[in-house]
Structure 1
């Protein structure tokens, strides 16, 4: 929005600005509408072209703030998945209460190594990133040591769909379901399952994780969103509470997991 304001204040059309910068008009439009991320050099040249070189610093500061919160997979995965997992491990080390919502797969903190291996392989194919699957799996498994540390609390909600998603071979999913059943009753874990039949106060959407009440990480196909402002965190806490109202725990959750295993055996 700020870029458009500057262009209009300079009495330039999109076509005129594109000609001045030697860009296509579509690039100008994409930058103005947030469909393409500007570089610092793009912003500097834009400021000069609209005869406002004094705002170049403001624009690059906004870019730096955006990039610190919107972390594109293209950039994060430039060297593979291991580095991303190690960054997450640092956040887990700082966290005592971890809340998670996952609607389509098993949350990483409860994944078996074989299940994680297939997840990483599929995302590597999607993002065409370096294939460091074994290193990434080891980093993710290291994180699970926190499940056995007194004082930690993992409050995890899964939609029942995650128990049926064949993102791996059936034998791997069967072992993963056994793993889920096994964590029920652990002192550090509260595992809730939202049944297909449960009424929902809010539509299930993107997966997200809440680290204490200081950070939320939201996953999307193209990027992770790191939310650190109080209002944003409060929104995700409300969403988590609304989803939690539809979840079942303990023996009821165990029955849903067992039922998913039986359905898998019948395929």
Structure 2
């Protein structure tokens, strides 16, 4: 990584550097001694451990081998590989148009068998109606000043929903009740979206949980929206960027968060009642 343009990436590099330093210290080695054994310039350890340089796979293997910490090699390599592509600015992704963004995730969706989705902002994309998707993407195009190929992007996302009916994919979806009460587009579009949500939630492949307003939050604290693709990857939605998590330890944290959020959600008849009440509230 030649330069760091995001504070999030910088923090991730610094955290990785601290882990490398801890491994070295636990092994009883000075930075100068490790550099000598690795045949590096002695400043390289400082650059790696202070997050000024992103370590290569070879660098990490050298650290863990010389420090007799090979059990941590795979986890550290996964972390380092994820940092480079983890934090992708929305504008960079979308500058070629929203249709391309929608197309870009197709291979990931096809190979994933178990989807776990938590949404604290909008109805999950795979469960959206066409009018609701159009309203969401229109807002995105306006806020981020990206090419307005809305119709094409909506068509791609609607076509993607075929995955709900094919193959052995399974979808566990969680939404906060306030998502159902937030009008996206106009009231007619929102009512249609909620009716569509009730319909797709009845599919055998879909489990929909709603976390009711007023639920005590000793656990299952509201967090950023995220999607888990099997146990291989988590995509997190931020205001300014799209965060991809591949490090096993961090994926485990999202697994725990999803389980806690699932435990306080309601399902089946109770979930449908909450959606129906949101429709009625639209008048």
The corresponding residue for 1:97 is 114
The corresponding residue for 2:76 is none
The corresponding residue for 2:251 is 233
The corresponding residue for 2:94 is 77
1:209-255 per-residue CA deviation (whole Å, 9 max, x = no partner) reads 00011110000011111111111111101010010111000000010
Say which SS state the counterpart of residue 191 (structure 1) adopts. Answer: strand
Matches within 5 A, 1:28-39: 34=7
1-side partners of 2:107 and 2:223: how far apart? 26
Decide whether the 8 Å contact of 1:147 with 1:188 is kept in 2: yes
Shift of 1:185: 2.6
2-side partners of 1:82 and 1:114: how far apart? 16
1-side partners of 2:271 and 2:192: how far apart? 17
Shift of 1:167: 1.9
The corresponding residue for 1:175 is 192
Shift of 1:65: 5.4
The corresponding residue for 1:107 is 124
Shift of 1:102: 0.3
Shift of 1:74: 1.6
1:166-189 per-residue CA deviation (whole Å, 9 max, x = no partner) reads 121000000001011112331100
Query: Are 2:118 and 1:145 equivalent residues in the alignment?
Result: no
Q: 1:215 to 1:132 in 2, by over 3 A?
A: same
Q: 1:101 to 1:53 in 2, by over 3 A?
A: closer
The corresponding residue for 1:13 is none
2-side partners of 1:172 and 1:35: how far apart? 36
2-side partners of 1:135 and 1:59: how far apart? 41
2-side partners of 1:96 and 1:152: how far apart? 4
Shift of 1:202: 3.1
The corresponding residue for 1:194 is 211
The corresponding residue for 1:47 is none
Shift of 1:115: 0.5
Q: Give TM-score, length-normalised by structure 1.
A: 0.76
Q: Give TM-score, length-normalised by structure 2.
A: 0.72
2-side partners of 1:177 and 1:80: how far apart? 28
1-side partners of 2:171 and 2:93: how far apart? 26
Query: Are 2:141 and 1:124 equivalent residues in the alignment?
Result: yes
Decide whether the 8 Å contact of 1:150 with 1:188 is kept in 2: no
The corresponding residue for 1:68 is 85
The corresponding residue for 2:177 is 160
The corresponding residue for 2:273 is 255
